[in-house]
Structure 1
């Protein structure tokens, strides 16, 4: 059967014009076949051979020994006497064929486009079965020589479905027009990388992206909620379910013992003052999380804990578009604690008293009935939530614009009258192309926020939720018996007693005291309290492009924030320990802060053949200032917040006490001056290199270490683009990445390096003279410097079966020079300790992201998932053996410690070996050295404590590390499907591997209520080995010692969102003059799978994973509408 010879033109259009036929070669082969000899020549030279395997068969084996001969001479000797000849095609392709075969070359030209008709540059065009070909130019065009019309061309491009086209489909001289279809891969997406963008396919750093399409119609009040569960490497936990409450965000673990918050950059403006709650999530176009040092080093001094880049939406050329999206729903607490009712509470109180040798407290518990359900009284099962967003966008080839208006309102599900969050935002972004070389634009946003209930979201000391948990169920919510209402304490403090709308006094407990008060009465005392803020954030920029590839850009950005709060304190009497009898007070604060940032960059992009390079250099200057004032008006003549104001003419002083005390502060100015540069290089989109250097100077350090240098480098290789990578492969794309770099942290407070002084010291002079003087608080430390974080990252990106995206990263991150107060001898004369760069820690982990996109008939499926693992370890804290994390329980024991070899703020307490079931168990628990009882005061039903130091007694030295508050694992998933006009979406997230310290019950109040877990207490041998007996005064400290008794598994999986939508048919939409219309119903926080028995296993804030009554998450149901004109 006659075979057709296939051949191609040059492999690369940028090849130089050197004469390949004169390339010299040395070759020594002995008794091998011709095909093997040709393969050796290919390895030793730049030539490639094209032939039919059948033509080389049945020929004698050859031996050859040549030195520095031309390729053509060597090939001629190999083919001598075989009846085969060779033809040099182009510069580096040699076609071998029988001597009687006529080789006729055909030159093809064509263009490659995507499905929208846009040209695709860099598409590989190969002759099937060979390693030679060409690539398309910037206009998507190519030119290629093939042997005849029987040739088959293969077109391949990252992120697109490969395509094979027989040349015979086209007439001679006809131009080929090839269309490639995009596959599931997102490799061609542009990703914001800081001072520019890059295609995802050539990025060498570890960056996670969240697109606006993932956030559309999602009910959320803050940006952190947009990232939770959608980006790998992030551990995000809400501080509470309070509307508008912030979340704790950690990128790849905890980076520092001081501050581990990531840097937020919105449209190029770093946000350091006032937070990011001013942002409307509907305005977000994309969020990029720069996780490794190679990505984050471009932000240097503030990038140690990661960088989160937020880009807001922009307009596009075309007719004006008007879009509305909104929803309305109701909320209820996702969980309610199972607390004891009055009868069960009284029964257990009697048991506890009898165990201590006392009499009955409640003679007839059954007569008390169910009593008061405090939770139900302050929970709202119909709290509203609503959001309305209107955006307008459009423009032409010269100017584009985007404007939006948004209103968000969420009532709290707990103590609704003092728990609400409202936000109003406005945004206007525009861009203007003045001519071919000048462009300018702006990004501007404004927000007004009013919030109630910023306090007591996770506090054991007062607040409506803590009181609802701890208050006894016997006390009535409202006193309806006139006899009781006219007796003490109601009669004693009649003018101060808080009353309901009917004038009845709220009940006051005589059983549970301290800060625990009637939550309904407490709410009435807080009605005039709220916080507010105004934020104006934006930037203006200009770009000059004098020649192709060279761009100068300057940008001036600022955030002007005004914020404050008001609290009104009426006169009230809530309990013997909680009252305010000195007259009504009105307290107001007003603060303002300004960040301005000026950045100038010059960038140059050039492509020379297959070499592509981008150079960036720039400077940045930033200044932060803030001031604040506060004043209290005491003795107001009104006792309600509606009439309270500062217009009353009060005397300056009453009885020697100022009626209008005030305060003020003015922070020192914080300045940052920076220089940075970046080189991005790739060869043929295959071999990748990025190098960054940033130098930052901070006002927070002295002259010895004012400047810090932060370098990074990363490399990448895409083996799937190599000639050896097989076609029709399972893995159609593979990129291997590696990076190393150093970033810094200067978020440590101002002027820690200088010595401060304080007055009020008494110094004796002579015999009788005492003078007031000043002394240093702490010595100066001019060598104080940056906290530095170095990070090594290795990862890969892959596309599998054209439908699956896979990203994997492994990293190890080390922070050194963390600031910690160091011990100094007393003779130095300072009362305090200076800061020094003495501590260090390590984070190590890995991340996996998976994506799937497939259309099966009329069904479009999409799924995304991610999982991250991180392990945090303290490696050095200087001369300290440990330090506490400021986390105490009511019994005055600290709950957590930070020490070498353990994660930050690990739980610290006693280990429990079980419960003594009999007196013999107590008697037999002895010190093996002395034979003495280890717990001589214990009784059956008490905890058996572990004697870890083996000294024969249970004391403070027996405490140890008992749990990690930070999750080892975080994960999230999104699954969506579309069929015709219907769509459905399920989103979930969770964590695993952490412990929660459940401090819901006040341990220092023995009469506080219990959950129903107390019904499973020890009441006799064999009844329980986990919940001890109840006894007044708790002589064995069963409940007052911090121990494993209070630890629970904090793992959970939460179905965050379920949504079902319907798009009206296009024909109906067109008649209505609309672009699209979608209606949907949804549920948020529908179900949480967890073994934790508290309100919520998601506990962030300063007391991470410590539950003192965290505000429960709300479960919401809503209906929404989204349409465009």
Structure 2
């Protein structure tokens, strides 16, 4: 036993001797809160390479630590803050710790203010700037998809720049709107949410039930979406201007592929079968042979389709004046002759060598394309102990996956807040937005709509006009291809969706100015008085053009609409908060007035 004790004592002495022989260096520094720049006392400072070597900060946040000379970094931790590692530089260290979000102490946005999450009694969900940054979306509403249970996001048009539809409580009305109430930086927002870049948003809160939305009254019957924009673009309060540049590129395509369709080589045969079955089981044709019924079925098929897309045909059906029957024989095209596309048995004529204009029958690819999205943002600011600022410039260009659709947006935003005194704060925010959108003239199921047109048209009808014998493209006097919109075509006569997309026009331009100004007083502990004045201005110009060549308006038509919308809102709020033991009292008294003006010129 003595032998083992002697050996253990020797090993401990050897280890101690080795450590004692290592050269020591002195490390000093200070630990501060990044948000308030206040010193953090009792923070743990630990050597990463030698975990048993450590110290704690004093009441001024300072520490002094002896570490081995080969140590490279320290780890600093404190309850409620993110742990941070720093490298040793040989100079005094200045460590800034970030607040860690706590489940119960986290501050959430609610009606007319903020509350701790543990104090919120209504149904509320939120998404912050970090979550938004991971979603390459055009506007803030699309970022809510999947972020909160019970919130449904949908788009009825797929048009670039479309803000989409938000349903928080399902469909609240049959005739009226089911959209929620939008609050931007504390004031009701009547504009399009697509005007707010996702990069400018600090937080989005969704208030769902009656308890959460009660302060907004009946206007919040469909729920409330509260959007708060960024105010601190400088990060640390050190007076250094910081700016970030972000760029994203993306592609868009139709989400669901086109369903499988019958090709041009099979369309005539299937239509023939339709007519043949009709004649075959008609008692009036009981005495006719299959050849007679097949010939009659083809004649009606051709008369209902009109077009012949096939090349190489040398035989024609011709009606015998005496018997009234059609016979198929070789010949040349002529009056009263019908090209022998099908034999009496419903099969394609073996003379057919292919299609006259097979490269001009793909309506799907003529209407749809691969869209492209480019988004550029320059944002940042400067922050000190008393000043918080945020400045951003944004440009978005998105072309839709359907021809002649697109959306461009230019944005400028400035947010400022200044602590004049510890108890007095002034702030203002303003944004200027210009958008330009282009959309199909008609998004419904009409003759001008490319989506329904390309889906419904038979695969034998070409996009452009062709020589009926050679299949060559026909051109106008300028050398441009001529679109096919023949009045004898049985499907949507005098219409061609591709041609209408290029000739007709539907454009909308918006200029939007949004301003928010506030003054905040804290005369005594727990009492906060706030005055908010908000002004919104929207100028909307819409232009719709109907061409005079084809379509709905043979004489042509140009419609121009100009709308001007202004909103002026002012509110005065008094909020008192008092904590007594484990109980928290929060009282709010407020008054709000709003003026909404709308004028239009057509």
Asked whether 1:350 is paired with 2:268, we answer no
The DSSP-based 3-state class of the residue aligned with 1:593 is strand
Shift of 1:413: 1.3
Deviations 1:234-268 (A, max 9, x none): 01111132211231211032222222110000001
CA distance in 1, matches of 2:590, 2:40: 31
Q: Which residue of 1 aligns with 2:545?
A: 568
Q: Which residue of 1 aligns with 2:509?
A: 532
Deviations 1:873-926 (A, max 9, x none): xxxxxxxxxxxxxxxxxxxxxxxxxxxxxxxxxxxxxxxxxxxxxxxxxxxxxx
CA distance in 1, matches of 2:241, 2:595: 38
Contact 1:530 1:565 in 2 (8 A): yes
Q: Which residue of 1 aligns with 2:399?
A: 411
Asked whether 1:195 is paired with 2:112, we answer yes
Q: Which residue of 2 aligns with 1:517?
A: 495
CA distance in 1, matches of 2:230, 2:101: 24
Structure 2 segments unaligned to the other structure (5+ residues) = 1-30, 42-58, 62-77, 84-96, 280-295, 303-340
Structure 1 segments unaligned to the other structure (5+ residues) = 1-111, 122-138, 142-155, 162-179, 491-497, 631-1125
> TM-score under structure 2 normalisation?
0.68
CA distance in 1, matches of 2:559, 2:500: 18
Asked whether 1:504 is paired with 2:481, we answer yes
CA distance in 2, matches of 1:547, 1:459: 63
Shift of 1:118: 6.5
The DSSP-based 3-state class of the residue aligned with 2:382 is strand
Asked whether 1:471 is paired with 2:389, we answer no
Q: Which residue of 2 aligns with 1:558?
A: 535
The DSSP-based 3-state class of the residue aligned with 2:195 is coil
CA distance in 1, matches of 2:126, 2:395: 26
> TM-score under structure 1 normalisation?
0.38
Contact 2:563 2:600 in 1 (8 A): yes
Match of 2:297 among 359, 369, 378: 359
CA distance in 2, matches of 1:593, 1:462: 31
Q: Which residue of 2 aligns with 1:1053?
A: none
The DSSP-based 3-state class of the residue aligned with 1:352 is helix
Map 1:333-732; keep pairs closer than 5 Å.
333-337=254-258, 338-357=260-279, 359-360=297-298, 361-362=301-302, 363-364=341-342, 366=348, 367=352, 369=355, 372-381=361-370, 383-415=371-403, 418-453=404-439, 455-481=441-467, 502-508=479-485, 510-514=488-492, 517-526=495-504, 528-573=505-550, 578-582=551-555, 584-630=556-602
Contact 1:192 1:288 in 2 (8 A): yes
The DSSP-based 3-state class of the residue aligned with 2:522 is strand
Contact 2:546 2:552 in 1 (8 A): no
The DSSP-based 3-state class of the residue aligned with 2:297 is coil
Shift of 1:609: 4.0
Q: Which residue of 2 aligns with 1:801?
A: none
Q: Which residue of 1 aligns with 2:245?
A: 324
CA distance in 2, matches of 1:580, 1:302: 41
Q: Which residue of 1 aligns with 2:166?
A: 249
Instruction: Name the one with the larger strand percent.
Output: 1
CA distance in 2, matches of 1:431, 1:595: 23
CA distance in 2, matches of 1:408, 1:539: 24
Shift of 1:451: 0.4
CA distance in 2, matches of 1:499, 1:355: 43
Shift of 1:233: 1.6
The DSSP-based 3-state class of the residue aligned with 1:508 is coil
Q: Which residue of 2 aligns with 1:737?
A: none
Whose RCO is larger (CA < 8 A, sep 6+)?
1
The DSSP-based 3-state class of the residue aligned with 1:533 is strand
State which drifts further: 238-247 or 367-376.
367-376
Match of 2:207 among 276, 280, 290: 290
The DSSP-based 3-state class of the residue aligned with 2:484 is coil
Deviations 1:386-441 (A, max 9, x none): 000001211212222101110000111111xx211101111011001111222111
Contact 1:158 1:187 in 2 (8 A): no
Instruction: Name the one with the larger helix percent.
Output: 2
Asked whether 1:280 is paired with 2:268, we answer no
Q: Which residue of 1 aligns with 2:180?
A: 262
Contact 2:392 2:413 in 1 (8 A): yes
Q: Between Structure 1 and Structure 2, how many residues are aligned?
A: 451
Contact 1:499 1:506 in 2 (8 A): no
